[in-house]
Amino acid sequence: MNKNFWPASFFIISSSVLSLLAIEFILAKYNSSIANSSHISANLLRYHPTLGWTLTPNWQGQHQHHDFNASYSTNLLGFRGELSNFNQAQANSLAIVGDSFSFGLGVNDDQTFSSLINQQVANRVLNLSIPGYSTDQQLLLIKDMAPRLKAQHYVLFFYLGNDYLDIMLSYPLQAAQAKPLYTLLQQQLQLTNTPVPKTPKKTSTNSLRLSINQTLSQQHTPLIKLRQRSLLLQRLLPAPRYDPVTTQALFAQYYSDNSRLLTALLKELQQQLQQQGASLTVASLPNNTYLQAPLSADGLLQAYIEGQLQTICQQLSLDYWNLAQQLQQLYLAQGQPQWYYPHEGHLNPQGHQIIAQLIQQQFKL
């Protein structure tokens, strides 16, 4: 054996290891720079003892991110959109209730799907969406706002990415602020965690991905576990594909309490609106993973949640709009267009345009 074999081998191996470590370091710095690129003008949100937080009335500001630079403003009532839309609302007006996706995080005031519809059909859409809200907060918001508005049709945009999980938590997965929490006691809703604590969440490690990984950990091979720890492997290797049947059974085992609570929340919301002479449509809204990687952990969880949501609406005789499935079909038919920001994840202007078109078709506006 050549006497230079071992030194040469050691040099090659050590150089390769150092190169891989350097790549991991560069990727970590790059991801960190993107994650830390989000800067919003101060005081968009303000504390609320019952709701957790609301939008600050008459607020104007900028939101800068690696993916976009957007301007936001709110009206006197503390919602996005022209005040005249609310003052001149009619019985045929459509009230949109959702989270940051429906609010329009990442796009200018005139680019949200609510605004795009109002530009064509004047004063037909009211945007009651508030970033970070889940179904429990939306129920409380509608209880407060429905008697004050003339709108007789509400559309609840249920975000498949985290709404189903957040209803079980006093601190949302992707927000630092505390929120109200409903629990079920003898099949009756009990409101807890109010007044909502002002103390922010101590750690940000609790995330949607962590929740999914904990659920699916028994299916993880050593390679999947290694990929989860390596930014380089996440770029080189495709996302793990899980068996849908096994995965759906796991989700049903872990999240049965979520479905029971969601059923009670939607039933209460339905009854509240019926008392006001208003109707409710529940629409499923996915994130990009649902479209791009349907057999990934995130994609399968959203598919499971969508199925649960549809079943619950059928049980309650609630009008259900499977927007998620409709978007998935269009996504494939149109050659996989980019409707979401690649890093930040919210709908981009093109995404808002397609949803505005679908809303107009669905509700014949």
DSSP annotation string for 209-237:
HHHHHHHHGGG--HHHHHHHH-HHHHHHS
Taking CA 172 as the corner, what is the angle to CA 170 and CA 178, rounded to the nearest 5 degrees? 50
User: Is 310's pLDDT higher than 50?
Assistant: yes
Instruction: Name the strand (E) or helix (H) holding 319.
Output: strand 319-321
Residues 136-149, mean pLDDT to the nearest whole number: 95
User: Is 1's pLDDT higher than 70?
Assistant: no
Distance between CA 268 and CA 191 in Å, rounded? 12
The residues with which 23 forms a beta bridge, in sequence order, are none
Going from N- to C-terminal start, the domains of the chain cover: 19-363
> Which tens digits make up the pLDDT trace of 267-303?
999 999 999 999 999 999 999 999 999 988 889 999 9
> Which tens digits make up the pLDDT trace of 325-345?
999 999 999 999 999 999 999
Nearest to 107 by CA among 80, 75, 85: 80
pTM above 0.85? Answer: yes
Identify the residue with better confidence: 244 or 211: 244
Specify whether the CB–CB gap between 207 and 164 falls below 8 A.
no
Q: Which CATH superfamily is domain 19-363 in?
A: SGNH hydrolase (3.40.50.1110)
* Amino acid 85: pLDDT: 84
* Amino acid 206: pLDDT: 45
* Amino acid 37: pLDDT: 76
User: Is 207's pLDDT higher than 60?
Assistant: no
